[in-house]
Structure 1
């Protein structure tokens, strides 16, 4: 599971661009110069025709700098939802960055299909949606809103024009300020059905999103370790760098093993997705669980080994720690994904066991 020369070139290009353009200002150059928004979009719909491994590379680099960009919500969740549903009408505007998209899915803090209560009703004027969606990535500013709602026939995916009546978007003040989220309320909002039964489509979108998020977590964890290693080389206590103390070496060695183990899990899921493996759900669950816990642990070590400065606003340590906590819960907690792995091996194991994240 090694990245090829083209992947390394993509990594270099993305890292260089992010070094020149900080924060939200990177989105335009990233889409225009590298075509990152359309990496996973087929060429006939304006994209690059690449796949999950290329997305993995970009997500790692975005994770390293905690880029506050709508990549996960637009280039992964929204794009993959359209591809899985077989609806390509909106793909060109997402692929070239003319608009960003998002997938409004979660309700009551859950990404379980069983917990979707938003209702879509078909009448003389078409479909109308009523309900509330939480944790919508970049939901306050996305131009393409895709909404998961329940119909009499089951779950379905809908496109809701954001400017239509009955849509209220409320930006949230989140602990992780680098990951904008919003609550979306729909009160009889006009909608267009996208594809048919969304059950299988959402399962694939979840796996691909978990795979991409795991790559982001690896990139961020790796950067935490780099910053911490540099600090313990420079920080002097008792006349010697604290990195020379055996206890500190052991903690850094453990952190290194966590990062590399997480990298293997994330790459395994990306390659499984690229190869169309039927085991992707298991690989994705492993990656989301392992990478979430590795990032949280390494970010925690970063805080500890920096001492007091690690919790000051001026240092980046607290930003990585907050991203680690937030991303661990996004798309389902590590415990939920371990439950998915258990179900794939031994089947449902009790009340509520089938409620996959």
Structure 2
């Protein structure tokens, strides 16, 4: 008698009490230190990141170590809790390196194991918030598309250029994938040049990283290195959906609030049927985006075999919803929505930039087709 196929466990899309408590703490912090005027002012400056905000979020609340085991100084939590943090970061478009350091770089190192070694030492520094890491790949790299853009000699000397690396200018250490393996490089070394670029999203800086004989600490070689990078990018793509969800929720909430207060012909503009229909449709899309994002976070947290499919579905859907929500926010705010003084443009730029981060929606739809054995779009 053959064993019956056991279906995957039903995902838990609801928020636990612990997750709601974490949300309250993060939202309170961001409301105090990353409100709209503060983010607008920092976006227009040369230093969008506030080190005090990062320390309060990373060390004060302990958000930087959510994915890191307790034995390495972390919280020993899961991707579900990290997803809640990213929802709140998306809601405020707060300029922090949380996604790139506390999720992508951390998940990459965790995939190498947590035994004694350079990876474990780096994880301890990241969990405490004392150090910030960035995976040195273009921000648009999909989980299955990471290839080493640098060459490494036998003694760990690296040469090459990587463009559009997110948060490279803020990182203390760069995780550099090469055809030979994965290396950790100190960003402050004389042999490392980080040239800032002018990004569309001013709240998440991009930079070109140039390595000229940089000395790297080997972390992994061969297939282990490639798998670690893939898993790091997969976690980043999956939890990016939660950031997009938070962004879309803010845009919807702010648009509803504004259309209730704004009057034309002695009536709130939100009472006009055409606008009601647009906001109702957007609400339906945001609810669906929440289900997709929570499913991806839960799959990552439980180590489900459906992680690649859940992540691809979440990115294929949530990136579109975030852009649509931001566009509706700008348009339904009328003239004020077109000004630099209103934060709506920050949300639109973040949504547009996120829509190509860790793979475009089209590449994720193709991944869904392949994983589900359906005809490609």
Match in the other structure for 2:243: 216
Match in the other structure for 2:322: 295
What is the deviation of 1:147?
0.8
Kindly indicate whether the alpha-carbon contact (under 8 Å) linking 1:236 and 1:242 is maintained by their aligned counterparts in 2. yes
Structure 1: gaps of 5 or more residues: none
CA distance in 2: counterparts of 1:199 and 1:347, whole angstroms: 27
Q: 1:244 aligns with which of 255, 267, 271?
A: 271
**How has the CA–CA distance of structure 1 residues 102 and 3 changed in structure 2, closer, same or farther, with 3 Å as cutoff?**
same
Q: 1:20 aligns with which of 9, 14, 32?
A: 32
What is the deviation of 1:110?
4.0
Match in the other structure for 1:62: 89
What is the deviation of 1:114?
6.1
1:144 aligns with 2:173: yes
Q: 1:3 aligns with which of 7, 11, 15?
A: 15
CA distance in 2: counterparts of 1:117 and 1:69, whole angstroms: 26
CA distance in 2: counterparts of 1:99 and 1:234, whole angstroms: 45
Kindly indicate whether the alpha-carbon contact (under 8 Å) linking 1:53 and 1:270 is maintained by their aligned counterparts in 2. yes
How many pairs were matched up?
342
CA distance in 2: counterparts of 1:114 and 1:309, whole angstroms: 41
**How has the CA–CA distance of structure 1 residues 66 and 305 changed in structure 2, closer, same or farther, with 3 Å as cutoff?**
same
**How has the CA–CA distance of structure 1 residues 348 and 240 changed in structure 2, closer, same or farther, with 3 Å as cutoff?**
closer
CA distance in 2: counterparts of 1:81 and 1:333, whole angstroms: 21
Question: Which shows bigger deviation, 27-36 or 57-66?
Answer: 27-36
What is the deviation of 1:341?
0.8
CA distance in 1: counterparts of 2:66 and 2:77, whole angstroms: 5
CA distance in 1: counterparts of 2:146 and 2:162, whole angstroms: 14
**How has the CA–CA distance of structure 1 residues 114 and 321 changed in structure 2, closer, same or farther, with 3 Å as cutoff?**
closer
Match in the other structure for 1:43: 70
Kindly indicate whether the alpha-carbon contact (under 8 Å) linking 1:77 and 1:209 is maintained by their aligned counterparts in 2. yes
CA distance in 2: counterparts of 1:4 and 1:299, whole angstroms: 28
What is the deviation of 1:347?
7.9
What is the deviation of 1:203?
2.2
Question: 2:333 is paired with a residue of what secondary structure?
Answer: helix
CA distance in 2: counterparts of 1:32 and 1:161, whole angstroms: 22
Q: 1:173 aligns with which of 169, 190, 198?
A: 198
Question: 1:130 is paired with a residue of what secondary structure?
Answer: strand
Structure 2: gaps of 5 or more residues: 1-12, 40-49, 114-118
Match in the other structure for 1:97: 129
Kindly indicate whether the alpha-carbon contact (under 8 Å) linking 1:165 and 1:190 is maintained by their aligned counterparts in 2. no
Match in the other structure for 2:108: 81
Match in the other structure for 1:159: 184
What RMSD in Å do the two structures reach over aligned CA positions? 1.7
Kindly indicate whether the alpha-carbon contact (under 8 Å) linking 1:52 and 1:271 is maintained by their aligned counterparts in 2. yes
CA distance in 2: counterparts of 1:316 and 1:114, whole angstroms: 34
List per-residue Cα deviations over 1:133-153 (Å, max 9, x = no partner): 1222210121111111112xx
Given the two structures, how large is their TM-score scaled by the length of structure 1?
0.92
Question: 2:335 is paired with a residue of what secondary structure?
Answer: helix
